[in-house]
Structure 1
């Protein structure tokens, strides 16, 4: 009986030791679990803080991006306005240049016409003077000589006027229309003078025939 009691007591001690060991192990596990919980909780807090900071950073970044975008759009509108303004000015200047170019072209064409008219007038006057000189040499009669002298003076006066108009370049450019009409009038006069030249040529031929007959 005593032996059985000792066996039972030994088993009880062993069970107590096992319970104590298990309890101790459980305590250690509990401590480890608490530490791990704290670590997890700390990580969660850090993650939460990081997310908050990330959200704040994103908001700040988005706000800055929006501000920069608005500023860029504003500058873009200013640049577009300036481009449109300078484009309008450029078109105005181009139109003015086109108008000036057209006016210069018209003036150049009119000047060329005047120079051509002048050349025709000079050639006509030279031919007329030559004819008048020949007619003057063929006769000494007072009526024909006076006739020739009169048109000789007209030819010289016309030549002087033309020379004055041609050499005075500023006057030619300033009064181009007036000079054009004057030159046209001179051209019409030259037609009349050409008719007179033909008459003088007839007179010359008549006197030549008289001289040959004599």
Structure 2
């Protein structure tokens, strides 16, 4: 009697190897994506953007201050304020990340090298408070400062809003970066109103993202500038 042939286990081995390979690839892909900022988990804007501004720690005006030898003045960190002063273009230096925002061929934001703190051109600005938009509570409103009618007429409210975001007078992120989406803007009864959605990227033990919104109001009559959080977050 012919002995029964044993069934080959080769197909099962191939299947197990294939499954193991897929699992290894899956874990590798997952952790690579996490290391690369978790792109496949990234948030997206729910509304159409009229304009998108990206601000990041690597291009921060405050980081630029730290590249200048000397002791950084504490007014930014403690008072949360940027002072407005007369600008001596021979003694002051412009801030590279916002140097394109100009009036009469002069940048709007400067650094005083001797004391290493940022100043605004008082021809167009009052002192401005720095407001952290990530910490605003529902319905909370804070005044930033006052802009001149000349600045509003020449630069325009939309570009002033962009300047305030890029200069980080309106702080939109804590550590890494923020993608800021202009959702809507309108001017009515002498008041400019802009609404922004923000995707805030930050890092704890891993890269995280959060979504929030804020509003900016600019009064064309007296130049008052306010930032606020929507009444419902």
Category of TM-score, reference length = shorter chain: under 0.3
Structure number with higher strand proportion: 2
Specify which structure has the higher proportion of helix: 1
Superposition TM-score, scaled by structure 2 size: 0.24
Query: Which gives a bigger RCO, structure 1 or 2 (Cα 8 Å, sep 6+)?
Result: 1
Structure of larger gyration radius = 1
When the two structures are superposed, what TM-score results if normalisation uses the length of structure 1?
0.26
